[in-house]
Amino acid sequence: MHRKCTEEIQMDILNLPKFNILSILENQFDFLIKVVTNSPPSACPHCGCNANLYKHDNRGQVCMDLPIHGKCVGLLIKRQRYRCRECSQTFWERLDHTIDERRNCTKRLLTYIEKQSLKRTFVSISEDVGLNEKTIRNIFRDYSNRLKETLRFETPNWLGIDQIHMIKPRCILTNIEERTLLDVLPNRSKEKVVGYLSRLPNRGRIQYVAMNMWQPYKDAVKTVLPKATIIIDKFHVVRMANQALETIRKQLREGLTPKERRGLMHDRFILPKRHKELTEMEKITLDLWIENYPSLGIAYELKESFFDIWESDTRQKAFLQYYLWKSKIPKELQSAFEPLTKAVANWEKEIFAYFDHRITNAYTESLNSLVRVIHRLGRGYSFEALRAKIFFTEGLTKERRELFGIDISTMIEKLEKGEL
């Protein structure tokens, strides 16, 4: 049950100069404040006459306002209807100086919801202000669309295209030179990527595109940026050697007794490491495994020598080293390494382009990790909300004379401070 507030509170509780407070009711959860406008119309909106208006009738209209003392606030507006003696037309007094009638709330509440929608879930805002969650979602959508129209990033010279799993796989685009995020697309289809690339201003300035081995990305770049050089990110290639080693490790374990498996304790953590990164104890452990399981040693050596290819100083040397490496794969291990050798056969030109232009998508990969952190912290967000949270939070864009995208170091700082 609502109770009446004192006259002293009534005087300053709203701070809406266009309204006079008639009464205030308060209960445990909310305020209901009855108000009336204090600026009657000066002219008829139909004929322009400003001398012959009279009050015709009125009605009560409830609109939500900013929370007060942690409670929802409803304004019960006594809205006056007028009739013009000159033209006999009727009209309701205007409230658009204060009220957004489309959302049935005050304009200041609308602004508050817009800002909060980039920081909080729609459900929590709904509980805070007393509007339906669907209304909050619609306000966010309109706000996001407005912001989108104002945000235009500089087209990069080096473009990164990769993917990230945000509810489902999405395409992520970056400016590799500036280490910034340009956009996250709803999916990774050729059509979406073509659409994005086609809208880029001065897209002809893009010289290099680093990507993973996803055919729709390649097709999209060939369609829109035929002169750009495609370079497969080396990290996507070399990790396939680790995946081959992992396949062999699992196959080996399947034929072992429980006791023998215990002898391979922590193998899945040690084997992916480069030999130069192993501790002395790990090297001793690895040598023991290799002595007992020679095929594992061969697989580990193949993985290591494949990584060594990427230290070649020319494309020709890398090319020759790769085919020498491939010839050394024993027949019994070829099926495990087949995904890697097939990938190189299908993407040979783009993979070995790395040795002419040493561009990688490593930054995009690290950015993926950051976006995953944001996603984890923002459970309950839709893709659209999460995207807006990244792109429209104030202070994240990197700029000099132009906007270059969302700056990675600033994102880290915001995350550490809990501001994202």
C-alpha distances out from residue 114 to 222, 388, 396, Å: 39, 11, 18
Same domain, 350 and 238: yes
Please work out, in degrees rounded to the nearest 5, the angle formed at the alpha carbon of residue 120 by the alpha carbons of 103 and 181.
Answer: 105
Determine the pLDDT at residue 42: 81
Neighbour-count burial of 61, counting CB atoms closer than 10 A to its CB (0-12 exposed, 13-18 middle, 19+ buried): middle
Under 8 Å CB-to-CB from 131, ≥6 apart: which residues?
A: 64, 103, 104, 105, 113
pLDDT of 273 > 70? The answer is yes
Q: Which segment of 49-53, 275-279, 375-379, 399-403 scores lowest on mean pLDDT? A: 399-403
Residue 290 C-alpha from the chain's centroid: 44
Same domain, 401 and 340: no
- Residue 73 in domain: yes
Higher pLDDT, 7 or 124: 124
Determine the pLDDT at residue 401: 42
- Give the distance between the most distant pair of CA atoms in the chain: 106
Tens digits of per-residue pLDDT, 56-79? 888 889 999 999 988 999 999 998
Query: Domain tally for the chain?
Result: 4
Same domain, 30 and 86: yes
Instruction: Give dist(CA 296, CA 247) in Å, integer.
Output: 11
Handedness of CA 360, 365, 367, 368 (dihedral sign): positive
Same domain, 267 and 204: no
- Residue 106 in domain: no
Same domain, 91 and 144: no
- Give the residue-averaged pLDDT of 388-392: 73
- Residue 174 in domain: yes
Q: Which of 314, 335, 355 is the last residue of a domain?
A: 355
Which domain, by its residues, includes 64?
A: 3-101
Measured from the Cβ of residue 364, the count of other Cβ atoms closer than 10 Å reads 26
Q: In terms of Cα–Cα distance, which of 322, 312, 309, 311 is closest to 348?
A: 322
Same domain, 216 and 241: no
Same domain, 119 and 50: no
- Residue 130 in domain: yes
Higher pLDDT, 15 or 372: 15
Measured from the Cβ of residue 240, the count of other Cβ atoms closer than 10 Å reads 19
On whether the CB atoms of residues 72 and 29 are closer than 8 A, the answer is: yes
Same domain, 239 and 311: yes
Q: What is the mean pLDDT of the chain?
A: 85
Start-to-end CA span in the chain (Å): 39
Residue 368 C-alpha from the chain's centroid: 9
- Residue 71 in domain: yes
- Residue 75 in domain: yes
Determine the pLDDT at residue 359: 87
- Give the residue-averaged pLDDT of 160-176: 85
Phi and psi at 369, nearest 5°, equal -60, -40
Higher pLDDT, 150 or 144: 144
Q: Which of 330, 355, 380 is the last residue of a domain?
A: 355
Same domain, 341 and 240: yes
Phi and psi at 412, nearest 5°, equal -60, -45
Instruction: Give dist(CA 195, CA 222) in Å, integer.
Output: 13
Q: Which segment of 115-129, 153-167, 398-412 scores lowest on mean pLDDT? A: 398-412
pLDDT of 109 > 50? The answer is yes
Determine the pLDDT at residue 179: 80
Higher pLDDT, 379 or 250: 250
Tens digits of per-residue pLDDT, 302-347? 999 999 999 999 999 999 999 999 999 999 999 999 999 999 999 9
- Secondary structure E strands in 316-399: 397-399
pLDDT of 29 > 90? The answer is no
- Residue 96 in domain: yes
Paired tokens of 119: 């920081």
Same domain, 242 and 331: yes
Under 8 Å CB-to-CB from 23, ≥6 apart: which residues?
A: 4, 10, 33, 34
Q: Which segment of 118-127, 284-293, 374-383 scores lowest on mean pLDDT? A: 374-383
Paired tokens of 382: 């839709």
Neighbour-count burial of 391, counting CB atoms closer than 10 A to its CB (0-12 exposed, 13-18 middle, 19+ buried): buried
Tens digits of per-residue pLDDT, 282-293? 999 999 999 999
Instruction: Give dist(CA 190, CA 409) in Å, integer.
Output: 30
Instruction: Residue 175: give its domain's CATH number.
Output: 3.30.420.10
List 4's β-bridge partners, or say none. 25
- How does residue 376 score in pLDDT terms, banded at 50, 70 and 90? low
Same domain, 171 and 228: yes
- The DSSP element (H or E) to which 75 belongs, if any, is strand 71-84
Instruction: Give dist(CA 420, CA 417) in Å, integer.
Output: 8
Q: Which of 355, 388, 405 is the last residue of a domain?
A: 355
Amino acid at 185: L
- Residue 366 in domain: yes
Same domain, 200 and 170: yes
